């Protein structure tokens, strides 16, 4: 990682040049032994001038930690030059900018440590790179820390001001409540004074609450319209090429139309017509290909396709299923309208006595019932799949729905039903008639002696005969 960070634009010296300039072999530098051919450069701490040690020794003793590991950076940056440890130590002091090792004195430091002249520009360039890296890291750290401080300070203030504003607006009526800008402009000094009295615990509490509220908010993910358009264009360009290739290689003919699926989509219709497919649309359907695509788009976007079942779906669903769906939709609508008007208990739909048991008693009317299917009756009594399907479509599209009648409308409806019933119309379901039974016999039967005698004589006569 560090090797790629310090990659100078100038040419690095080869190993032979380094050995020839420094007079130190690679093997000797790894062992740390001094080079006998160049006795000036020593690999010991004694080679560092006493003045230099006195200038920087106390400073580095006070440093508790090296957050950027400058020692490692320097060792790695100058590992090609085979410099002694004492020289590398002073290069660290130069990069730290300690007193006596400022940038203006870097040449003196290199000269005092007897760094060869041909290596000094390269070493200075490396030192400049390391120093700029450390300065940039320090500036970034200070900037991030300052941004964090400003963020938390701003968060504390936002939470505090919001709480005060909500407390005041709760007591005011809607329309006379304070706006945030006006509230701050009017109570700026009071808010600043009260905010200064807060402890760190209160401030951190504001931050915690705001963070929790932010986490509770549900993020809404939205697709960018331009990104969607680019994605669609790329996909259909590939599809056009594939269709063209298939038509040319296999000799097939055909066309496709792709339109947007809703109002919020902004994609234009995509079409492809082979030569014979284009002729078919123009001659048989008597339409331009583009006009056919626009008709299909309007049919999809307007929602007309949602309320229409395909013939396959209608034929596959049994009649009993359609009747059950009609009953469920009617009962669900009745439950909703009664619940909205304070009737908690469940009221079953009464098809046989609809006017008396539902309309007059609970004031709920089923409006929008198809005219050719009147009066309101059990869906099982409509007769035929088409009639049941028509009622189901009206219930699904909310054309036929429940409505709560007012008290005045309910009274008027009762009077009207009585008048119709008086004219002989069958508005109400007639009550069951009780059958006329014969008079019951007595529980006990009394008989006298004469009856018994007569019965005996009769029995004797019968037996004689």
Give the pLDDT confidence of 340-382 residue by residue, as tens digits.
Answer: 888 888 889 999 889 988 999 999 999 999 988 888 899 999 8
43 close to 32: Cβ distance less than 8 angstroms: yes
Work out how many domains the chain is built from and give that number. Answer: 3
Q: How far apart are CA 355 and CA 359, in angstroms?
A: 5
Q: How far apart are CA 123 and CA 206, in angstroms?
A: 53
Q: Are residues 390 and 344 in the same domain?
A: yes
Domain final position from 196, 221, 246? 221
pLDDT of residue 16: 42
DSSP state of 427: -
Which domain covers residue 363, as residue numbers? 319-423
The rounded mean pLDDT for the chain is: 73
Q: Are residues 89 and 195 in the same domain?
A: yes
Q: Are residues 215 and 237 in the same domain?
A: no
In a domain, 28, yes or no: no
Whole-Å CA distances, 273 to 1, 247, 254, 258: 57, 10, 6, 12
Split at pLDDT 50, 70, 90, the class of 276 is: very high
Q: Are residues 76 and 165 in the same domain?
A: yes
> Is 148 buried (19+), middle (13-18) or exposed (0-12) by CB count in 10 A?
exposed
In a domain, 346, yes or no: yes
Q: Are residues 94 and 165 in the same domain?
A: yes
Q: How far apart are CA 13 and CA 26, in angstroms?
A: 14
pLDDT of residue 424: 83
Q: Identify the CA nearest to 255 among candidates 283, 227, 275, 274.
A: 274
Q: Are residues 95 and 199 in the same domain?
A: yes
Q: Which range among 27-36, 215-224, 377-386 shows the weakest confidence by mean pLDDT?
A: 27-36
Instruction: Show the CA angle centred on residue 211, arms to residues 206 and 212, nearest 5°.
Output: 100
323 close to 388: Cβ distance less than 8 angstroms: yes
Q: Are residues 160 and 100 in the same domain?
A: yes
Residue 21 makes CB contacts below 8 A (sequence gap 6+) with 13, 116, 118, 119
Per-residue pLDDT for 36 more than 50? no
Q: Could you report the per-residue pLDDT of 65-77, keeping only the tens digit for each? A: 444 455 666 666 6
Q: Identify the CA nearest to 405 among candidates 347, 357, 337, 331.
A: 337
Instruction: Show the CA angle centred on residue 289, arms to residues 288 and 295, nearest 5°.
Output: 90
Q: Are residues 386 and 328 in the same domain?
A: yes
Residue 2 makes CB contacts below 8 A (sequence gap 6+) with 72, 73, 76, 77
Q: Are residues 217 and 246 in the same domain?
A: no
pTM greater than the 0.85 cutoff: no
Q: Are residues 186 and 212 in the same domain?
A: yes
In a domain, 33, yes or no: no
Q: How far apart are CA 214 and CA 158, in angstroms?
A: 13
What integer is the mean pLDDT of 171-185? Answer: 85
Q: Are residues 214 and 260 in the same domain?
A: no
Q: How far apart are CA 257 and CA 75, in angstroms?
A: 68
Q: Are residues 295 and 407 in the same domain?
A: no
Q: Which residue has the higher pLDDT, 422 or 316?
A: 422
Q: How far apart are CA 376 and CA 382, in angstroms?
A: 10
């Amino acid at each position: 990682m560090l090797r790629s960070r310090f990659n100078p634009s100038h040419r690095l010296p080869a190993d032979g040049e380094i050995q020839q300039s420094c007079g130190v072999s690679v093997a000797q530098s790894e062992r740390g032994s001094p080079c006998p051919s160049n006795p000036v450069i020593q690999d010991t701490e004694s080679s560092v001038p006493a003045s230099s040690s006195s200038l920087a020794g106390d400073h580095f003793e006070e440093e508790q930690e090296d957050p950027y590991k400058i020692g490692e950076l320097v060792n790695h940056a100058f590992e090609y030059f085979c410099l002694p440890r004492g020289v590398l130590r002073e290069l660290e002091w130069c990069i730290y900018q300690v007193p006596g090792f400022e940038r203006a004195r870097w040449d003196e430091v290199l000269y005092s440590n007897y760094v060869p002249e041909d290596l000094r520009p390269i070493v200075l360039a490396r030192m400049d790179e390391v120093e700029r890296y450390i300065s940039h890291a320090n500036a970034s750290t200070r900037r991030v820390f300052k941004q964090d401080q400003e963020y938390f300070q701003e968060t504390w203030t936002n939470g505090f001001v919001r709480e005060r504003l909500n407390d005041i607006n709760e007591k005011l009526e809607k329309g006379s409540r304070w706006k945030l800008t006006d509230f701050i402009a009017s109570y700026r000094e009071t808010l600043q004074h009260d905010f200064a009295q807060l402890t760190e615990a209160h401030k951190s509490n504001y931050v915690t609450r705001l963070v929790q509220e932010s986490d509770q908010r549900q993020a809404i993910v939205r697709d960018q319209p331009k990104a969607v358009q680019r994605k669609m264009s790329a996909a259909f360009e590939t599809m056009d090429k594939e269709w063209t290739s298939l038509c040319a290689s296999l000799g097939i003919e055909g066309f496709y139309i792709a339109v947007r699926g809703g109002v919020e989509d902004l994609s234009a219709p995509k079409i492809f017509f082979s030569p014979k497919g284009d002729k078919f649309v123009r001659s048989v359907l008597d339409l331009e290909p583009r006009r056919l695509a626009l008709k299909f788009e309007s049919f999809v976007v307007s929602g007309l396709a949602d309320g229409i079942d395909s013939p396959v779906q209608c034929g596959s669903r049994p009649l009993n299923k359609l009747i059950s769906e009609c009953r469920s939709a009617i009962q669900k609508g009745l439950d909703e309208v009664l619940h909205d008007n304070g009737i908690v208990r469940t009221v079953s739909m009464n098809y046989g006595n609809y006017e008396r048991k539902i309309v007059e008693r609970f004031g709920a009317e089923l409006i929008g019932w198809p005219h050719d299917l009147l009066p309101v009756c059990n869906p099982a009594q409509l007769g035929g799949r088409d009639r049941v399907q028509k009622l189901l479509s009206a219930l699904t599209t909310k054309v036929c729905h429940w409505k709560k009648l007012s008290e005045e409308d309910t009274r008027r409806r009762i009077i009207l039903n009585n008048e119709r019933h008086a004219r002989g119309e069958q508005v109400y379901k007639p009550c069951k008639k009780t059958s006329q039974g014969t008079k019951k016999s007595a529980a006990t039967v009394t008989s006298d002696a004469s009856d018994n005698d007569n019965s005996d004589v009769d029995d004797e006569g019968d037996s004689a005969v």
